[in-house]
Amino acid sequence: MNARRVIAAAAVVAGVAAVTAGCSQVDSLKQVSGVPINTLQIAVGTVLVNNKVPILVAPNCVEVNNDSTKFECKGKTTTGQEILATGTAGASNNFTLSPGGTPTPVPNGTLQLPMVVKVGGKVIYEGQAQAVIDSSQGGAK
Amino acid sequence: MAGLSRRAFLAASTALAATFAVPRDALAAVLAAPLKPANVPTTLQQTITIGAPTYQKYRTLVAGPGEAYLPRYDITQKVANAARTQTRRSLLYLGHYTDIHMIDAQSPARLDAMNGQSMSLWAGVIRPQDTLQMNILAEMTRAMNAATLSPLTGAPMAAAVNTGDSADQHSTLELDWYLGVLDGGSFTPNSGKAGEYEGVQVWENTWAWHPEDPSNDDFGAYGFPAIPGLLNAAVSQTVTSPGLAVPWYAVFGNHDTLLNGFAPIDSGLRALATGDRKADDWQALGEVYLRGMGQDGSVFNRLTNDIWTQQGLDARMRHVTADGERKLFEQLDFISAHLNSPATPGPVGHGFTQDNLTTGQTYWAADLNSQFRVFGLDTCNQTAGADGAVPEDQFNWLKAGLAQAQQEKKMAIVLSHHNSVTLENAAEPVIGGQTLYHADEFISMLREFPNMVAWVNGHTHINTIRPHGDAQGRGFWEITSASCVDYPQQQQLLEFVDNRDGTMSIFVTVLDHAAPAKWSKNDFSQTGLASLSRELSANDWIENPPMRIGSPLDRNTELLLNAPFDLSTITDAQVEADQAKSRARIASFDQRQPK
């Protein structure tokens, strides 16, 4: 990006900020919400079904202490055992895809989200949430 | 039809034959046949999964085993009575579309060039399969029509519902195409120059897939193939849809409300949409947008004009063939377009009525049969942002409507675009806003009504099922479908069943569109391009394709509820009368199809 382009980019961003600053609209200008918590919820459900856990109440994942990177999911089996899953969304890594070598931010698909799933206190899965989702759809990406 | 007397049966057959223009004797034979599970292609029989990489990271798709229904007891909190499978009767069977995202891929007002600024931030402004979206909707409609008899009970589909995001970038063409495919007809998914694609997938950049030669773009690096001739074939073909066999109902999505679902539309974009200039550069596109916000002669307008000139942004606009039909529509245009729909499959307005057009009210209610009332909400924020909320006037209208339905002993289904994790948009207009209700308050209100059984929605493009129960075992199910545009390009069948044991069940069946799992090289037929679209969507590395299919708990499921009232008060004769009407309508549709 040359200097002229940087100036133009800055002007565009500054313009948008100037028009919308201080308004409730600013908060709304983000992507559709819920990616990490959805990822965790799906991975936990997949682990439980793959392990043939008899589910009475499927774990519902919620943020812990309003922290949008820490999640906890609680449920119950038909035999009264507690289902507990926890997960923490990490920062995305960078990687290079462009032939020209431009670093591209990691897309949602490679979200770092380690999780632990326990049934009746026993760990039945510990690892990345994304790995569970990938393996349920034909192996690692 | 054991519930109807012989006299009532003959009267019903005669009346329905006249209403739907089918031979009486043939219809009587159809109605006399007992319901039995239909052998129809759904994910109960076969699924589609992502196969091994074929080049670099690019994968093709393969057929997988079917998935049986998983029972979910989250709300009743007790394991269901096994005998229910012998006693249940179907009360309502529906199709569910959402996030259709019909796309005019060549419109100058598309935000596709923003991908050059950040692929992650602007995910969804352009997808590799953008030119093939009409194929998807036509093939999904074929799949829906193939499943007009329930795979669980054989009950006839009474209606389909569409929970929004029908036109991807607010184009009148997109709106017309989506309505046309669901109502039936033949269309060419092209605008601008006849037979030739003009747009970012043939212009020099690294951020879009170039099917002619992807060797210099990020998608080629990932392993996307070269498919010469694809784009021109896509915009030259005629896509034919039989239209839905059943009446269908629609609500607003955020893409039907704001540009790309989150941004207000200004004069710069309106002019761009119908003009002969298209940006192939994100700064130029951003400047067009900013310039459209300013009034002529204002300081802001002079500033943006200066930037435009000094940065040479004019040179970053390409010439394309202008097309006035790409006009960006207004909110009331969306309603009037639905009201211009034909009587078949109907209903005219697809939920919207002339009253909506007159008053500007963007939500509605309708009875799907004698037992179920559906409330079609507009949870979209008119001001800004992709996510949603429920304004106070609509919140109060729904609350009163649910109370009325309960008094009439009708079960309630709420339709909205947004779901419970995305109902938190707080953006208000600078002047004249009203209180916005968000997920927690909305769910609490819905739970006040025992007759409220299902909240059906979309938005996140992920198959998701959530219970909203209380300690007494009461509550409702929230059912969110994946989209037509992102992998896995799936929609749903929903069946509401009385178990005749004090409980009812909602069966969710995930539906793939009718195109095969595997694309055959150089198959540019309507079905072939739909197969290719699904394959491309499975490789859209900006997104998270395998996540969007959800967990098994979000797919083929039986969702148990305690009955909202004594369901034995609904007679078999009432149920059969509703079903007879739906069966006659489907027989009429079948009769009209070419043999």
**CATH code for position B146:** 3.60.21.10
Where exactly are the structural domains of chain A?
1-30, 31-136
pLDDT value of residue A5 = 44
Q: Count CB pairs under 8 A between chains A and B.
A: 193
Among B313, B459, B467, beta carbon nearest to A32? B459
Alpha carbon of B17: minimum distance to chain A alpha carbons (Å): 47
B 99-118 → A contacts, CB under 8 A: 117-118
Show Cβ contacts of residue B40 under 8 Å, excluding neighbours closer than 6 positions: B146, B147, B149, B151
Among B72, B383, B460, beta carbon nearest to A38? B460
Q: Contacts of residue B430 in chain A, CB cutoff 8 Å?
A: 23
CA B586/CA B595 separation, integer angstroms: 15
CA B524/CA B530 separation, integer angstroms: 9
pLDDT value of residue B122 = 83
* Residue-wise pLDDT tens digits, B505-551: 999 999 999 999 999 999 999 999 999 999 999 998 877 888 899 99
Domains contained in chain B, number? 1
pLDDT value of residue A89 = 85
Q: Contacts of residue B304 in chain A, CB cutoff 8 Å?
A: 15
The mean pLDDT of A23-50, rounded to a whole number, is 73
Q: Is the pLDDT of residue A139 over 70?
A: no
- Residue B214 forms contact with A (CB below 8 Å): no
Parts of chain B with a pLDDT under 50: none
CA B194/CA B173 separation, integer angstroms: 15
Which segments of B98-251 are extended strands (E)? 159-162, 185-187, 239-241, 248-250
- Domain assignment of residue B313, yes or no: no
CA B277/CA B90 separation, integer angstroms: 55
Q: Contacts of residue A31 in chain B, CB cutoff 8 Å?
A: 121, 123, 386
Show Cβ contacts of residue A121 under 8 Å, excluding neighbours closer than 6 positions: A82
- Domain assignment of residue B586, yes or no: no
pLDDT value of residue B238 = 97
Q: Is the pLDDT of residue A15 over 70?
A: no
CA B539/CA B542 separation, integer angstroms: 9
pLDDT value of residue B249 = 98
pLDDT confidence bin for A138, thresholds 50/70/90: low
Among B117, B121, B421, beta carbon nearest to A33? B421
- Domain encompassing residue B180: 46-276+320-564
- Domain assignment of residue B17, yes or no: no
Instruction: Supply B426's token pair.
Output: 């707080």
- Domain assignment of residue B588, yes or no: no
B 353-392 → A contacts, CB under 8 A: 381, 383-387
Q: Is the pLDDT of residue A18 over 50?
A: no
Q: Contacts of residue B543 in chain A, CB cutoff 8 Å?
A: 107-109
Supply the ipTM of this predicted assembly: 0.91
Q: Contacts of residue A27 in chain B, CB cutoff 8 Å?
A: 385, 426-427
Alpha carbon of A87: minimum distance to chain B alpha carbons (Å): 16
Beta bridge partners of B415: B376, B456
pLDDT value of residue B431 = 64
- Domain assignment of residue B40, yes or no: no
The mean pLDDT of A61-89, rounded to a whole number, is 93
If you ran DSSP here, which 8-state letter would residue B42 be given?
S
